[in-house]
Amino acid sequence: MTRYIELFSDTKTRPTAAMRAAIAAADVGDEAAFEDPTVNALCERVAALLGKEAALFTPSGTMCNQIALAVLGRPGDEVICDRTAHIVNYEAGGVGANAGLNLLALDGERGRYGVEQLRAALRFPLRHAPRQRIVSVEQTSNLGGGAVWPIEQLDAVTALARGRGLATHMDGARLLNACVATGVPAARYARDFDAVWIDFSKGLGAPVGAALAGTRAFIEEAWRVKQRYGGAMRQAGVIAAAALYALDHHVERLADDHANAKRLAAGLAMLDGIALDPATVETNLVYFALAPGVALDAKTLCERALARGVRVGAMGPRLVRAVTHLDVSAPDVDVAVGVIGEVLRG
Ligand SMILES: *Cc1c(COP(=O)(O)O)cnc(C)c1O
C-alpha cells in the first residue's frame, strides 16, 4: 500500500486501533427491531447532543438528507438552500428523484445566505409556483470552505422561516467542527431546526454512519422512509460502536485539525501562484485557487503533488481542496506545503 499524505478528504480516515477494539467489543442485536443496544445508546447520545427528542442511525449522511427532506416535504414542494449545498451538487439528484422536491438555490457568501436573501426568495403564494416548504442550511459549508454560519445568522434565518410556516433542516455533516471552532454547543446550533444530523465518517474518523435527530414524531416518520430506502440494518452495533468511540475521543481533537488547516493555509498563501486568504480558513477545509498566470491547471497540480506523496483534490479547473483530519499531522502539513511549492516552481 502506497503511503502518502492524504489531504483529499476527511472521509479518508481509517479506524484507529482503539476504535477497532471498540468495534470488536460491541454488543449487538437487530437494529431494525430496536434490539441493538449499541445503536440504541448511540441514538440516545446523539439526540441529547443535538437537544432533540430522538435520533436514528443511517449508513450515510446522504441518506440523512434524503430521509429528512422526504419527511418534511411533499412532491412538488420547494427546498430553499445555498447553491453550493451538498443536496444540490453531490447527491445524484436525490432530492428530486427520491422526495420529488424542487430546489431553489440562493447565491450566498461562502455557502451561507443571509436573511434578506431568504426574504427576497420567499414566493408570493400562487397556484403556479411550487409550494415552499423547507429551508436548509449546511453547517459547516463544505464548498464554502468550511465556513461556519454565525449563530445570529442562523437565528435570523430560522426565525423568518418558522414565521412563514416553513420547516428547517440542517445538514450537519461537519457541525461538530463548527462547535469546536466557536465553542457554541451543538444543541444551540440545532435549536431551531426540525431536522439535524451529524456524520461519523468525516472528521470524527469512524468508518461509516451518520445520525439524524428531531422530534419523536419526526423520527417515527423518518424510520418509515429509512426502511423504504433500504437503510434499516441488522447487527449495526459494530459500526455504531465506532461512532460512539468517535464521540468520546475524536471531538475535542478536531481543534488540532483546525490548527493544521490554518498552518496549511498560512504556508500555501506564502507560495507564488496561489490565491488564498488564510483568514477565511475557520475549520478543516482549505480551498485554494491557482493564480492567473500560473500555467498549471488544478488536475495537473494534483497529479504532480501525488507523484511526490501528497494527495489533494481538484474541485474545478483552477480550484484545489486540501482537508485536514486525524491522519494528518503538523509535520505532514509542512511537507505538503513544500511539495506544492515544488510543483508550482516546476
Ligand atoms: C459528506 C457530506 C454529506 C454526505 O455525507 P456521506 O456520509 O458522505 O453520505 C452531506 N453533506 C455535506 C456537507 C457533506 O460534506
Alpha-carbon span 240 to 43, nearest angstrom:
9
Amino acid at residue number 297: D
How does the average pLDDT of the chain come out, rounded?
Answer: 97
In the prediction, which pLDDT does 125 show?
A: 85
In the prediction, which pLDDT does 3 show?
A: 77
The proportion of the chain whose per-residue pLDDT surpasses 90, expressed as a percent, equals 98
User: Which 3 state secondary structure label does DSSP give 294?
Assistant: coil
Predicted confidence (pLDDT) at residue 51 exceeds the cutoff of 80? yes
In the prediction, which pLDDT does 2 show?
A: 60
Predicted confidence (pLDDT) at residue 326 exceeds the cutoff of 70? yes
User: From the CA of 65, how far away is ligand 1's center (Å)?
Assistant: 9
Alpha-carbon span 54 to 65, nearest angstrom:
16
Looking at the domain 253-345, which fold is it?
Aspartate Aminotransferase, domain 1 (3.90.1150)
Question: Cell 430522538 maps to which residue?
Answer: 54
Q: Where are the domains of the chain?
A: 16-249, 253-345
The proportion of the chain whose per-residue pLDDT surpasses 70, expressed as a percent, equals 99
- DSSP letter at 253 equals T
Can you tell me which atom of ligand 1 is nearest the CA of 210?
Answer: 7
User: From the CA of 119, how far away is ligand 1's center (Å)?
Assistant: 27
Ligand 1 binding pocket mutation candidate from 67, 86, 175, 200 (most atoms within 8 A of CB): 86
Calculate mean pLDDT across residues 99-112: 98
Calculate mean pLDDT across residues 153-181: 98
Which CATH architecture group holds 16-249? 3-Layer(aba) Sandwich (3.40)
User: From the CA of 93, how far away is ligand 1's center (Å)?
Assistant: 14
Predicted confidence (pLDDT) at residue 158 exceeds the cutoff of 90? yes
Calculate mean pLDDT across residues 153-167: 98
Predicted confidence (pLDDT) at residue 161 exceeds the cutoff of 70? yes
pLDDT digits (tens, 9 = 90+) for 1-37: 467 999 999 999 999 999 999 999 999 999 999 999 9
Q: Is the pTM value of this prediction over 0.95?
A: yes
Using a 10 angstrom Cβ sphere, with 0-12 exposed, 13-18 middle and 19 or more buried, the burial of residue 143 is buried
In the prediction, which pLDDT does 24 show?
A: 98
User: From the CA of 173, how far away is ligand 1's center (Å)?
Assistant: 5
Ligand 1 binding pocket mutation candidate from 9, 10, 58, 142 (most atoms within 8 A of CB): 142
Predicted confidence (pLDDT) at residue 317 exceeds the cutoff of 80? yes
User: From the CA of 87, how far away is ligand 1's center (Å)?
Assistant: 9
